[in-house]
Amino acid sequence: MMNYSSRPPEEPAVHARDLTVVRGPRTVLRGLGFTVPRGRITGLLGPSGCGKSTLMRAVVGTQAKVTGTLDVLGRPAGHPALRTRVGYVTQAPSVYNDLTVRQNLDHFAAILDPGRASADRRHENVTRAIADVDLTPHADALAGTLSGGQRSRVSLAVALLGTPDLLVLDEPTVGLDPVLRRDLWNLFHALAAERGTTLLVSSHVMDEAERCHRLLLMRAGRILADDTPEALRTRTGSDTVEAAFLHLVDEAAAAGRTKESTR
């Protein structure tokens, strides 16, 4: 039997080859190949509808009709052993409005780590997760009375409860003011640097790309680029990742036209 724990540390957190996903009548992801390095922040960027959420759902194992290879932390995506090792925050905050922040966290902590014997550890984990997302002053407030941004941070705290090795965050900064956005990005960097957490973070705001160690740029179900922000800017002769993205889009469109005209 393969011993996953003895694998070299440089093995990527996520490895995809020829990854294809069909949703309804449409092929939403087409033959993608990419890796997500461990302990780094990888940004998944692209316009609305390009397939970011679908890719994330495939990585966490909740997406149907996935073909090709998709390995996560050395196991096939969705493997039961990954349940406590992968944290996932969707775009819709999943919190109970009629419970306080702490009660929400207590509830999920009891599912993750049940039993009386773990009560002290659960309490510590809940207190830490609330502090991680800067909600300590609101720990006893009903979730229903919080702002949208605060509620999404409760969801993030739930994902942090199990100290996951891989954190998959679907547009975590949507609707947040600039100060909260900066604070969240600081938290992401602290998680990567201090806990070695791998983060896969989607966004359609290109200035957030500059805050990532690596980028997967997507368009229409395909990966346009898999590189560092700096390498992308240099390769395309652009000042910003946004300009680099537009350059790559134009390049792909021109290549598509050439293919058509030589048929």
Ligand X SMILES: Nc1ncnc2c1ncn2[C@@H]1O[C@H](COP(=O)(O)OP(=O)(O)OP(=O)(O)O)[C@@H](O)[C@H]1O
- Residues forming contacts to ligand X in the complex (CB under 6 A) are 23-24, 26, 28, 46, 48-54, 204
Q: How far is the CB of 163 from ligand X (least distance, A)?
A: 27
Burial 150-176 (b: 16+ CB within 10 A, else e): bbbbbbbbbbbbbebbbbbbbbbbeeb
Q: How far is the CB of 57 from ligand X (least distance, A)?
A: 8
Q: How far is the CB of 113 from ligand X (least distance, A)?
A: 31
Q: How far is the CB of 148 from ligand X (least distance, A)?
A: 16
Q: How far is the CB of 252 from ligand X (least distance, A)?
A: 17
Nearer to ligand X, 22 or 99 (CB): 22
Number of residues written out for the chain: 263
**Whole-angstrom Cα distance, residue 138 to residue 141?**
5
Longest dimension (CA), the chain: 70
Distances 109 to 83, 129, 142, 193, 231 between C-alpha atoms, Å = 14, 10, 18, 25, 41
- Write the single-letter amino acid at 118: S
DSSP annotation of 168 reads: E
Nearer to ligand X, 52 or 153 (CB): 52
Q: How far is the CB of 169 from ligand X (least distance, A)?
A: 12
Residue 217 and residue 42 in contact, taking contact as beta carbons nearer than 8 Å: no
Nearer to ligand X, 23 or 85 (CB): 23
Q: 26-36 and 14-23: which strand pairing?
A: antiparallel
Residue 139 and residue 101 in contact, taking contact as beta carbons nearer than 8 Å: yes
Nearer to ligand X, 52 or 102 (CB): 52
Q: How far is the CB of 261 from ligand X (least distance, A)?
A: 27
Nearer to ligand X, 21 or 82 (CB): 21
Nearer to ligand X, 92 or 231 (CB): 92
Nearer to ligand X, 126 or 156 (CB): 156
Lookup: tokens for 131: 């502090």
Q: Which of 186, 196, 161, 198 is nearest to 72 (CA)?
A: 198
